[in-house]
Amino acid sequence: MKKRDRTSLGDILEAAERILDYTRGRVKADIEADKMIQDAVVRRFEIIGEAAKRLSVELKKNHPALDWAAMAGMRDVLIHEYDVVDIDIVWDTLNSEVPKIIEYLRGILHDG
């Protein structure tokens, strides 16, 4: 695996793990009420998106199980007009997609 891909995958994994750390034990209403958590989570999604954009075409082609294009566009999905965070999408994504990303990336990075 290319060094840049390994670094970018590590960045995605770390950001995804932090999202779950920041939201562990919380319900959607907690995130709606806490702008600091929103900012932290959205920032980590931005990092995921930027790191996904740096991945080589080869890596993405060899690992089609994840939707790399969707990952790269996460910020645009989570933030709408006038920089308003869509909490419903944030909540759904962190509960449905982030655990899958973590599990898959741990496998890729372990297998090298």
In this structure, which long-range contacts are made by residues 59-66, counting pairs with CB atoms below 8 Å and at least 24 apart in sequence? 59/1, 59/2, 59/5, 59/9, 63/104, 63/108, 65/104, 66/100, 66/101, 66/104
Rounded CA separation 5/70 (Å): 17
Examine the pLDDT at 26 and tell me if it is beyond 90.
Answer: yes
Question: Of the residues 43, 63, 75, 106, which is catalytic?
Answer: 75
Whole-number pLDDT of residue 81: 57
Q: Taking residues 52-71, what's their average pLDDT? A: 95
The reply to whether 80 belongs to the active site is: yes
The reply to whether 75 belongs to the active site is: yes
Examine the pLDDT at 76 and tell me if it is beyond 90.
Answer: no
Rounded CA separation 17/98 (Å): 8
Q: Taking residues 42-60, what's their average pLDDT? A: 95
